[in-house]
Amino acid sequence: MTISRRDLLMSGAGLAAGAMALPMLSTKEAIAQAVAKFEPEAGASLRLLRWSPFVKGEEDAWIANTKKFTEATGIEVRIDKESWEDIRPKAAVAANVGSGPDIVWVWFDDAQQYPDKLLDVTDLADGLAKQYGGYYPACAAYATVKGRFVGLPLATIGNAVVYRDSWVKQAGFSEFPKDTKGLLELGKALKANNHPMGFTLGHGVGDGNNFCHWVLWSHGGKMVDEGGKVVINSPETVAGLKYVSELYKTFIPGTESWLDVNNNRAFIAGDLSVTANGVSVYYAAANDPKLAEMAADMRSTNFPVGPIGKKVELHQTTTACIFKYSKFPKAAQAYLAFMFQADQYNAWLTGASAYCCQTLKSFSNNPVWTSKPIHAAYALASETLQPNGYAGPLGPKSAAAMADWIVVDMVAEAATGQRTPEEAAKRAQQRAERIYR
C-alpha cells in the first residue's frame, strides 16, 4: 500500500513524542512520525554513500528498510558503496567541493575535520536519544562539536580477538590468555606449531587502528594528555613498542602491508590461528559448508589486559552525516529518523549478525547478542570503546592525527624493526606536534 505525503503529515505525532523504550511502530506510523517532524521537500531524492559491507545481511537489511521508506514516501534513495579505506577521502572531497552524496557514513572522528560542512542534526539526535534511552557517551562524542550533533551515531563495529580453539589447546593453553604476557607466550607456542598469529599493522581503517591503539593504550601510552599536549613519546609508549616488537616475531609474514580485508582472508585460508576482527570473519566461515569445521572451532574474546590493569579498546565507530549542500536536508533527516525507529534499526542489527553494535542504549536487548556465544565479545563495544583522541578532546586535530596514521605507523615501525621503539616514539611525537601545535 502506498501512503501519500498528506496521509503521513496528518497522522504524525512528532519524532520525540513517544518516550517509551523501543516502541514497535508500524512502517506507516514510523514514517509518519519522521515526516511530521521533517517534512520532505517536494520532488526530493537522496544519495547515500556508505562503506562496503563485510556482512551481506547487514546491507540487505538496510536496503530492505530503505525500500519501505521509498514505497511509502516516493523518495528515491540511491545507495553507493566504497571500500573502507576510500570512504574517508571521498567524504572529505565532497565536503570541500560542496557536491556529491547527501548522506555519508564516516569513520571515527572524520566529522570533526569539516563540521562546518555538515548539517546540524541536534533536534533529530536529541529526539532519538529521548526515545531510545540515550547514546553511549563515546559514540555521541564522535558526532558532536561544541555540544551540537553534526551527525547521527550509527554503529560501533566491534573488534575482538578471534582464534582457533583447538590450536590454542594444542599449544598447551586451556583457555585464551587474559593478559599481554600470556598472549606473547601463546604466540611463541603457536608459531612453534606452525600456526602463527597475525594482527594488522598496515593502513587498515578498522583492524590496523584497533590493534595499534590497543598496543599503545594497554601499556599506558596516549597521544595527548587531557589538555591536548602531545605526550606520545613516553616510557609507557616505548614499553608498548618493545612488547609489540617481540609479539611481531610470532606473526605470519607480511602483516605490515595488510588492509582490513587481508587478515580475514588469511584466517579463512587456515594460515592464521589468532587475529583481531569483526564478527564478519566468523560468518565468512560459517556460511561456507566447506569451512564448517573451522567455524565450529572458532572462538572470540576481548583483547588481553596490559600493564595498566584494565580493558582499553578502540573499536570502530561510524556516523551518518548530512552535508549542508544537500538540496533535500529535510528529506534526509526524515529518512534517517525512519531508519532509527525500533522496527527498522532492530532489523538492521539482526541482519548484521553482531557486526554492528547499537549506539542507543535501549537497543542493547536485541536478541542477536545472546543468539550465539561468539557474539558475546562484540556486545559491549559501544559501552567499552575509548575514543582515538584519548586522553584529550576530539576535534580536527585528533581526526587529522588518525587520518595521518601516526599511531599505526609508529607501532608498525617498531614491530618490524624499521626503527627502534625509542626512535618510533620520537618520530610519532614530532609528527603529532605538527598537528597539535
Beta strands in 323-395 (DSSP E): 356-357
- Residue 41 predicted with pLDDT over 80: yes
Tell me the mean pLDDT in the region 175-190.
98
Mean pLDDT is lowest, of 3-12, 188-197, 205-214, 364-373, for: 3-12
Q: What is the structure's pLDDT at 390?
A: 95
Average pLDDT over residues 316-328: 97
pLDDT tens column, 121-133: 999 999 999 999 9
Check pLDDT > 70 for residue 16. no
User: Is pLDDT above 60 for 279?
Assistant: yes
Q: DSSP E strands: which ranges in 303-433?
A: 316-322, 356-357
The model's pTM is 0.86
- % of the chain beyond a pLDDT of 70: 94
Alpha-carbon distances, residue 226 vs 31, 189, 313, 393, 399 (angstroms): 43, 40, 18, 7, 16
Indicate the helix (H) or strand (E) that contains 304. none
Q: How many CA atoms lie within 13 A of 72 on its CB side?
A: 24
Span 260-283, average pLDDT: 96
Q: Chain-centre distance of CA 215, in angstroms?
A: 18
**Any idea how long the chain is?**
437
Peptide bond into 391 cis (omega under 30): yes
What is the separation of C-alpha 338 from the centre of its chain, rounded to a whole number of angstroms?
22
DSSP 302: P
Distance CA 22, CA 19 (A): 9
For the segment 404-433, the average pLDDT, to the nearest whole number, is: 98
* SS3 state at 215: helix
User: Nearest 10 degrees: CA dihedral of 14, 17, 21, 26?
Assistant: -40
* pLDDT at 275 (0 to 100): 98
| Contact between 164 and 301 (Cβ < 8 Å) | no
Contact 157, 206 (CB under 8 A): yes
- Please tell me what DSSP assigns to residue 179: B
Say what the pLDDT of residue 22 is: 56
Give the pLDDT band of residue 413 (cuts 50, 70, 90): very high
Is 240 strand, coil or helix? helix
* pLDDT greater at residue 384 or residue 197: 197
Question: What average pLDDT score do residues 418-434 get?
Answer: 98
Q: Give 103-164 as a DSSP string.
A: EEEEETTGGGGSGGGB---HHHHHHHHHHTT-B-HHHHHHHEETTEESSEEEEEE--EEEEE
pLDDT tens digits for range 129-171:
999 999 999 999 999 999 999 999 999 999 999 999 999 999 9
Is residue 385 scored above 50 in pLDDT? Answer: yes
pLDDT number for residue 4: 30
Proportion of the chain above pLDDT 90, given as a percent = 90
Predicted local distance difference test score (pLDDT) of residue 25: 65
Over 80: is that where the pLDDT of 10 sits? no
- In whole angstroms, what is the distance from residue 27 CA to residue 338 CA? 9
Contact 285, 291 (CB under 8 A): yes
Instruction: Read off the C-alpha cell for 175.
Output: 583457555
pLDDT (average), residues 388-411 = 95
Task: Say whether pLDDT at 31 is over 80.
Answer: no
The answer to whether residue 252 scores a pLDDT higher than 50 is yes
HSE-CB at 262 with a 13 A cutoff on CA atoms is: 19
The owner of cell 548522506 is: 103
Q: Each residue of 55-111: pLDDT tens digit?
A: 999 999 999 999 999 999 999 999 999 998 899 999 999 999 999 999 999 999 999
Is residue 308 classed exposed, middle or buried when 0-12, 13-18 and 19+ CB atoms within 10 A define those classes?
Answer: middle
More confident residue, 34 or 177: 177
> What pLDDT was estimated at residue 30?
73
Residues 6+ apart with CB under 8 A from 78: 45, 46, 47, 48
Q: Are 369 and 375 spatial neighbours (Cβ–Cβ below 8 Å)?
A: yes
Q: How confident is the model at residue 13 (pLDDT cuts 50, 70, 90)?
A: very low
CB 132 within 8 A of CB 22: yes
Tell me: pLDDT of 357 over 80: yes
| The pLDDT value given to residue 226 | 96
Torsions phi, psi for 306 (to 5 deg) = -95, -165
Across the chain, mean pLDDT equals: 92
Residue type, 267: F
